[in-house]
Structure 1
Amino acid sequence: MKRLLLVPFLALLCTFQTMAQDVENELSSNLQEWLDRDWPVTDTLVFDLPNESALVLYFNNTEFTADELTEEFEPLLRRATDFPEFTTRSYRIAENFQPTALKNVKYKIEKKYVPYVHSLEMTFPVGLDFTGGDFTPVVGFRTHLNWRNFSLGGSITNTVYFPERVENNIKVNSNWFANVEFAWEFGNLSGPRRNTFGVGYLINENKSQLFSGTTMQAYYNRKLSKNISIQVGVISTENFKTFYPTVGIRFW
């Protein structure tokens, strides 16, 4: 993990203009004039890195404070282990133009300097589906290898079915699916991958009252927050003769 030294100081506009050729996200001449006139540089924030490099941010204090930008960039720079040695990179931050918007500057830095493969994710999702007219609890294990803005992995999930009672007895059915998954979040590298598409195959050894024959599922999962998502899909069973639509919620 990188150790950051944060040195905020006031920068004059004329100083910025003499360094403009070094700014990575410089605008076209017309847009640059507009930006300098209506949102001039009032402050500079410097992140000094342990490898004798630095990230310099130019900004207007009516849009951001040094503390706000520090909070945004400090976690990102801890992961930017590919930042070159003995190098200074400078960026203008201004929300009024796409190349200088905070979100896009962070995206550019992460795309360039954060390692391509950066984490292995393991979770234990639980939830509840509405499957073909019945409520079916779902539990499982999920693992993904995360790249910059997508991940690949798989999961093992159990769709639990409670059939009608026979002579006051009930036999709970477990339906184990092995799933292959692809998750993505293009344009937002620092946030969670909110979209997941998966395909699964029923691997039961014991007969189920809900599914029979060759059974497969396909689903789309969308994260609503860090720990909650919704999922919609379809399950084909009886050798692709019967189809059950599914909709449910997951907790990670």
Structure 2
Amino acid sequence: MKRYLFASCLAFLCFFQARAQALENQLGNTNQEWLDRDWPITDTLIFDFPNASSLIIYFNNQEFSVTELEEEFEPLLKKATDFPESTTLAYRLGKEFPKTTLSHVKYELEKKYVPYVDSLEMTFPVGLDFTGGDFTPVVGFRAHLNWRNFSMGGSIINTIYFPERIENNIKVNSSWFVNAEFSWEFGNLEGPRRNTFGVGYLINENKSQLFSGTTMQAFYNRKLNKNISIQVGVISTENFKTFYPTVGIRFW
């Protein structure tokens, strides 16, 4: 599937070849000259497809190794079943410019040539918030329809408040919020969508010592890894007269 052309002693020939084969990620003139001067092409890695097509990767061996690039590209290209027939595409790698980074080139290839299947994601998040000076455990259900770069959906989350004891008795307050959510992760197709913005409305009518009247919330959630995220937001209650800042953690 691959061919490796070593030309460290003849770097100018690789440079000439790169010019002859139009690059898919060509930089502006100034940046391209800077890249060619300080990190000239020394090596070429070619991946051949069964449909008579090829992917050419030009790089500098001080920035990347052949083994590293094979490990990065081979799993991706095995999934690139939409790669056009009888076509040769060329990309230049360079760490100093966003358009030529390894992650960006992989992103472009996956976005264009790897088929994507929409999916429905359902989770049961639990966590703990610090809401208006009190700790409030949260638990609920979340469902999202996933597309390639973003997802849309909603959740129903119970914010649990433990008020002070009255005559040694405590009445737990359950506050159910219904939330509309939008998640995104532009520039990275390999990991989870790490950014979520949501707005919610308190639907239960049970009296609560924490919330009363019309109550809404807005929040931003940032995933730290697949199973843990942090969330910040604000809750307005008492018909938008009182505002509680919130910060918390979620486990999925």
TM-score class normalised by the smaller sequence? 0.7 to 0.9
1:108 is matched with: 108
1:192 is matched with: 192
1:77 is matched with: 77
1:216 is matched with: 216
| CA deviations over 1:130-170 (Å, ceiling 9, x no partner) | 11221001112222223333221211211111122233332
CA distance in 2, matches of 1:31, 1:240: 52
2:122 is matched with: 122
TM-score by length of 1: 0.82
Q: Say which SS state the counterpart of residue 99 (structure 1) adopts.
A: helix
| Aligned-CA RMSD value | 2.8
Structure 1 window deviating more from structure 2 (23-32 vs 170-179): it is 23-32
Structure 1 window deviating more from structure 2 (121-130 vs 108-117): it is 108-117
CA distance in 2, matches of 1:206, 1:79: 52
2:90 is matched with: 90
CA shift for structure 1 position 34: 4.5
The answer to whether the Cα contact below 8 Å between 1:117 and 1:145 also exists between their aligned partners in 2 is no
1:46 is matched with: 46
How has the CA–CA distance of structure 1 residues 238 and 36 changed in structure 2, closer, same or farther, with 3 Å as cutoff? closer
The answer to whether the Cα contact below 8 Å between 1:81 and 1:113 also exists between their aligned partners in 2 is yes
| CA deviations over 1:28-47 (Å, ceiling 9, x no partner) | 55654543443232322233
The answer to whether the Cα contact below 8 Å between 1:184 and 1:196 also exists between their aligned partners in 2 is yes
TM-score by length of 2: 0.82
CA distance in 1, matches of 2:181, 2:157: 12
CA distance in 1, matches of 2:205, 2:67: 58
Letter in 2 for 1:82: D
How has the CA–CA distance of structure 1 residues 33 and 235 changed in structure 2, closer, same or farther, with 3 Å as cutoff? closer
**Residue 6 of structure 2: which of 10, 24, 40 is its match?**
10
CA distance in 1, matches of 2:189, 2:206: 42
CA distance in 2, matches of 1:48, 1:143: 41
| CA deviations over 1:26-75 (Å, ceiling 9, x no partner) | 34556545434432323222334454433221111110112322333345
Structure 1 window deviating more from structure 2 (156-165 vs 141-150): it is 141-150
Structure 1 window deviating more from structure 2 (234-243 vs 131-140): it is 234-243
How has the CA–CA distance of structure 1 residues 39 and 156 changed in structure 2, closer, same or farther, with 3 Å as cutoff? same
CA distance in 2, matches of 1:164, 1:247: 21
User: Where in structure 1 are there 5+ consecutive unaligned residues?
Assistant: none
How has the CA–CA distance of structure 1 residues 167 and 100 changed in structure 2, closer, same or farther, with 3 Å as cutoff? same
How has the CA–CA distance of structure 1 residues 65 and 194 changed in structure 2, closer, same or farther, with 3 Å as cutoff? same
Q: Say which SS state the counterpart of residue 248 (structure 2) adopts.
A: strand
* Number of residues of Structure 1 aligned to a counterpart in Structure 2: 248
The answer to whether the Cα contact below 8 Å between 2:14 and 2:42 also exists between their aligned partners in 1 is no
User: Where in structure 2 are there 5+ consecutive unaligned residues?
Assistant: none
Letter in 1 for 2:16: Q
How has the CA–CA distance of structure 1 residues 26 and 175 changed in structure 2, closer, same or farther, with 3 Å as cutoff? same
